[in-house]
Structure 1
Amino acid sequence: MSDPKTRREVIDVKAVDARAIAAMRHRYLLVATSCAAIDLAFSFVYYAVTGAWESAPRNIGSGLLVFFVANYFLSSRLFEPIRRYLEGHATFEETQRRITQLPILTARNVGIMAAVLVVFRLVASNLTPNPVPVTLPDLVTLSIILPIFYFTYTYFIVSDYLGGLLGFIYRHHGRNLELFFGSYRSKLIVALVVISIAPLAAIVVDLFSYDGDRLRLEIINDVVVALMGIAISAFFIGRSLLRPIRILSLAMGKVAGGNLTVRAPVTSNDDIGALTGQFNKMVEGLRERERIRETFGRYVDESVASTILRRQGEGVLSGETGEATILFTDIAGFTTIAEYLGPSELVAALNEYLETVLEPIRAHGGVVNTFIGDGLFASFNMPLACDSHAAAAVRAAVDIQRAVGDRTFGNPGIHFATRIGISTGNVIGGSVGAGRRLTFTLLGDTVNLAARLEELNKEHGTRILVSQSTREACGDSFVFAALGSVAVRGRNDKVTVFSIDPHGQDKNS
């Protein structure tokens, strides 16, 4: 049986959602029919200037009937598919075309109704007992300018509402607009034309159509109406055009600060909306790239992963040659240890041990290329530059031995004795593999020799063995002990090897 409190909370959430959806619908209808209030204000200005109050009831009544009642009905039908989506009865893919076209469809209806209303009022005024004469140029101008103004006003105020609607959809449904029919440039041109040219055209027509007191009254009316229209339109035009840019700019600032979790809501149906969508895809790509880099860095040294990702296309993937110092480590008697430890205990102890070994390598500028069972393969000066790389590798080896020392790892506490081999010389670095499976590695005689030196520690009872090239590169930085020339598996000629006391002193320390 369900908990009554939980059931009440679910009902409350549904009630909140229903109220939020109803509020979004009511806001749209209020916005769409707000032209009725604009028309009412323009009418009062006209009657206050001309004194023709006898036609006020007819004209105001017709304005409310057209701009409020008829427009309310048409706008409700336009919003119906969106309401069904918000309530979960339709998919976003089925609805987003109506969403993106909501401003233009609403403005189209208002523009047509405004044209019909202007013609009706002009014809009706000529049928009154005391008609106010209107010249043909003025009649044509009014029939063009007023519908265009109402169309533009409605388009931008609904576009401003659309930003809120799209933000609501993004917050509640996590969806962003993907269809874009508007043009930012076209919006800007229309806005400039309506705000600047339309009022000027009306005044110019009055100058050539009337004279005397009638001219003065017409110009006063046009100027007052134009100022009101410009103030209202400029406010919503500015909000509609600038808010999407502001949202995108804030999101870009967060990404520039390193926040890759940003996803900007698309709040316009034009080029800026499309740009915001592309921005979201770009951030998603960056986030995926960062995830790959972090995941890659768990399997190889993170600095190697970063270098490979940064230098793709610069030749590092196809191979490059350079001087480097190679360091191999291994655990003495690891096979025997593994026989009496459980898998989970063994892996836990090994991970703790490898973390201890990694720290000195990174501290001295080396990178770990590969983990090889219970050991690892590290390099100095390839792929990352490392000054005095031979000495850095030897210092890392000494610090590893000191760090491991008599320490135990894991539970019940295992002691791992570490053997290290180091060699300096030319190596080939690059990504090798097949198809989409690649790994960055180092190849060459220097690498092979370092691995063989690590193995030779068994025969000499030592912990660190270095090649003659490493010994020469280090100069007098350390006290080395020559062990003579020995045969190394895989080489025809013998090599001179040197040991170093891991508890000895670095002469440069």
Structure 2
Amino acid sequence: MSATPAEIAALRRRYLWMATSIFFLDLGIALIFRLVNGGWSDFWISEGPGVVLLLGINWLLARRLFEPINRFLQGAATFNDTERRLTQLPLLTARWAALFAFILYAFRNSISWWLPSPTPGLQGQTIADYITVCLVLPVFYFTYTYFVVSDYLARLCSFIFERYGRNLGLFFGSYTLKLMVALLVISVAPLSAIVVDLFSYDGERLQAEILVDVASAVMGVAITAYYISRSLLQPITILSSAMSKVAGGNLEIRVPVTSNDEVGELTGRFNDMVGGLREREQIRETFGRYVDENVAAAILRRQGDGQRSGEIAEATILFTDIASFTTIAEYLAPHELVTALNDYLDTVLAPIRHHGGVVNTFIGDGLFASFNMPLACDDHPAAAVRAAIDIQRAVGSRTFGDQGVALATRIGISTGPVIGGDVGTGNRMSFTLLGDTVNLAARLEELNKEYGTRILASESTRAACGRSFAFQPLGKVSVRGRSEAVAVFSIDPLLQEGP
């Protein structure tokens, strides 16, 4: 939502106030000087130029400086055309303030040379004091204006971020330089003025000059230090708060860039980082809808570690399939079939995950799960067998979908060396498991049709499980893809111990 005319006018007024507020600081310093030294009769001779320069001409120039920003807020200019002016707004405003201050004090402190004053405190200014005032006060006014407008810029950038969704991307400022200038100006400037007075005057005149310098410094430094602290610390506070939220798991956060220096650049990079994390999490969530979330996490971790080559490990593979699924699909409507299948898969997934396995992929009405690859699983052969038993118990005790369809499950289990790795080309990659162990598990699942069984396991799985389960030997059988016959064992869930 764009800004309303009233909001734009308020932003413009606030900037003009910030840009010309230097006049009121100067007026306060002038009043302190008059209160100490007197000379009210020629007060306006001294202050008139301040009204013209610091208030009048400065206000007109500030309007011109803000005009590109005003056009952007009104929708008459693009953000790219306005961004440079936004970034340089504090510097440009402060530069004019310093120039006007130099002209003003060069004129103001020369009055006593061509217009003698009846007030002793206004006469006889030394050259050293004249030069110091003409240099120190413009630098001080520059610093004040820069940080006041920087504080305003932070609010303006926050407003633009909230309403227009745009952030600064150009950074011309230097945080280190800002800090050094701030420290030097608020500490060295008042001291230099006092030191010059000590060598330029004595007696009551010295006391008056030092009193004016100290009182002016207390007022000016207090106000300037307030804006310096806000300008330098507020962006860090915003960034720190955002980091805490990200650490708490909030990846939706995006913060405004409110400074034109390294902190602002860091904030922009922080937003980019959070965007990357958010995208990574979205990919992981999307991955998790198609493969087991643990597999997705393993893939992302492997890619993050730069691991693309295959690895081999001992694992147990489990294949499942629904008996007579083609026949069932003939008499169910598509939406009824999908509902029943999803209900069934939810039932099958639970035991696999409970026993430490991960589902690598769904294959039609079946699935392919692994234990100890890619995630470690202690005693993976027994874990796979327990999962198979629990699946049969869960599936055999219920029906699925709105129509109450009974589904029988066939399971094949094999244990042995498995190769795991990323396969594919270009941008289409997949983590998969390969090897004879995978093929044998798939063949054993199919052999359940011939033996009329529900769970078949290989000799390697039976040997690894020892006496933990009641295996029934079925002899050796030729398996497609193998030259030698393999020993096959069935597992009857009803003959196993446990709930």
Shorter-chain TM-score category? over 0.9
Shift of 1:263: 0.4
Alpha-carbon distance in 1 for matches of 2:306, 2:53: 70
Shift of 1:503: 2.3
The yes-or-no answer on 1:302 pairing with 2:293 is yes
The yes-or-no answer on 1:327 pairing with 2:314 is no
Shift of 1:133: 1.3
Shift of 1:431: 1.1
Pairing partner for 2:26 from 33, 39, 64: 39
Pairing partner for 1:368 from 359, 366, 369: 359
The 5-angstrom pairing of residues 270-419 of structure 1 reads 270-312=261-303, 314=305, 316-419=307-410
Shift of 1:402: 1.1
Which is worse superposed, 71-80 or 409-418? Answer: 409-418
Please say if residues 308 and 316 of structure 1, whose CA atoms lie closer than 8 Å, have aligned partners that are also in contact.
no
SS at match of 2:411: strand
Alpha-carbon distance in 1 for matches of 2:213, 2:304: 65
The yes-or-no answer on 1:54 pairing with 2:41 is yes
Partner of 2:428: 437
Shift of 1:310: 1.4
Shift of 1:316: 4.8
The number of aligned residues is: 495
Partner of 1:114: 101
Q: 1:404 is matched by which residue type in structure 2?
A: V
Partner of 1:8: none
Q: What do residues 294-330 of structure 1 show as CA deviations (whole Å, max 9, x unaligned)? A: 1111111110110121122657531111110100001
**Do the aligned partners of residues 64 and 135 (structure 1) sit closer, same or farther apart at CA in structure 2, a change above 3 Å counting?**
same
Shift of 1:374: 0.9
Please say if residues 406 and 415 of structure 1, whose CA atoms lie closer than 8 Å, have aligned partners that are also in contact.
no
Q: 1:201 is matched by which residue type in structure 2?
A: S
Q: 2:59 is matched by which residue type in structure 1?
A: Y
In structure 1, the gaps of 5 or more residues are: 1-12
Q: What do residues 373-416 of structure 1 show as CA deviations (whole Å, max 9, x unaligned)? A: 11111000111111111111011111111111152222323221
Partner of 1:96: 83
**Do the aligned partners of residues 220 and 253 (structure 1) sit closer, same or farther apart at CA in structure 2, a change above 3 Å counting?**
same
The yes-or-no answer on 1:67 pairing with 2:54 is yes
Q: 1:33 is matched by which residue type in structure 2?
A: T
Q: What do residues 168-202 of structure 1 show as CA deviations (whole Å, max 9, x unaligned)? A: 11111111111111110110111011011111111
Q: What do residues 269-298 of structure 1 show as CA deviations (whole Å, max 9, x unaligned)? A: 111000000000000000001111111111
Q: 2:7 is matched by which residue type in structure 1?
A: A
Shift of 1:206: 0.8
Shift of 1:72: 1.0
Alpha-carbon distance in 2 for matches of 1:353, 1:58: 94
Alpha-carbon distance in 1 for matches of 2:4, 2:442: 67
Alpha-carbon distance in 2 for matches of 1:315, 1:48: 73
Partner of 1:259: 250
Alpha-carbon distance in 2 for matches of 1:167, 1:438: 41
SS at match of 1:76: helix
In structure 2, the gaps of 5 or more residues are: none
Residue identity (%): 65
Alpha-carbon distance in 1 for matches of 2:308, 2:449: 36
Shift of 1:341: 2.6
Partner of 1:482: 473
Please say if residues 328 and 450 of structure 1, whose CA atoms lie closer than 8 Å, have aligned partners that are also in contact.
yes
Pairing partner for 2:240 from 241, 249, 267: 249
Partner of 1:9: none
Partner of 2:419: 428
SS at match of 1:233: helix
Q: 2:37 is matched by which residue type in structure 1?
A: T
Please say if residues 391 and 477 of structure 1, whose CA atoms lie closer than 8 Å, have aligned partners that are also in contact.
yes
Partner of 1:506: 497
Q: 1:65 is matched by which residue type in structure 2?
A: V
Which is worse superposed, 202-211 or 130-139? Answer: 130-139
Alpha-carbon distance in 2 for matches of 1:438, 1:381: 22
Please say if residues 55 and 125 of structure 1, whose CA atoms lie closer than 8 Å, have aligned partners that are also in contact.
no
**Do the aligned partners of residues 474 and 315 (structure 1) sit closer, same or farther apart at CA in structure 2, a change above 3 Å counting?**
farther
Shift of 1:129: 3.3
Partner of 2:6: 19
Shift of 1:235: 0.6
Alpha-carbon distance in 2 for matches of 1:148, 1:118: 12
Pairing partner for 2:227 from 229, 232, 236: 236
Alpha-carbon distance in 1 for matches of 2:422, 2:176: 48
Q: Normalised by the size of structure 1, how large is the TM-score?
A: 0.95
SS at match of 1:33: helix
Partner of 1:10: none
Alpha-carbon distance in 1 for matches of 2:424, 2:137: 71
Q: What do residues 216-272 of structure 1 show as CA deviations (whole Å, max 9, x unaligned)? A: 111111111111111111111001000000000000110111110110110111110
Which is worse superposed, 474-483 or 341-350? Answer: 341-350
Alpha-carbon distance in 1 for matches of 2:74, 2:87: 18
Alpha-carbon distance in 1 for matches of 2:207, 2:361: 90
Shift of 1:435: 1.9
SS at match of 2:16: helix
**Do the aligned partners of residues 315 and 499 (structure 1) sit closer, same or farther apart at CA in structure 2, a change above 3 Å counting?**
farther
Shift of 1:339: 2.5
Please say if residues 322 and 426 of structure 1, whose CA atoms lie closer than 8 Å, have aligned partners that are also in contact.
yes
Q: What do residues 81-114 of structure 1 show as CA deviations (whole Å, max 9, x unaligned)? A: 1111111111111111111111011101111111
The 5-angstrom pairing of residues 146-161 of structure 1 reads 146-161=137-152
Q: What do residues 28-76 of structure 1 show as CA deviations (whole Å, max 9, x unaligned)? A: 1111111111011100110111122222121222212211111111111
Moved over 4 A (4+): 313-316
The yes-or-no answer on 1:217 pairing with 2:208 is yes
Alpha-carbon distance in 2 for matches of 1:214, 1:394: 100
SS at match of 1:414: coil
The yes-or-no answer on 1:204 pairing with 2:189 is no
Partner of 1:4: none
Please say if residues 116 and 123 of structure 2, whose CA atoms lie closer than 8 Å, have aligned partners that are also in contact.
no
Q: Normalised by the size of structure 2, how large is the TM-score?
A: 0.97
Shift of 1:443: 0.9
Please say if residues 357 and 370 of structure 2, whose CA atoms lie closer than 8 Å, have aligned partners that are also in contact.
yes
Please say if residues 422 and 470 of structure 1, whose CA atoms lie closer than 8 Å, have aligned partners that are also in contact.
yes
Please say if residues 412 and 444 of structure 2, whose CA atoms lie closer than 8 Å, have aligned partners that are also in contact.
yes
SS at match of 2:480: coil
Alpha-carbon distance in 1 for matches of 2:47, 2:134: 17
SS at match of 1:294: helix
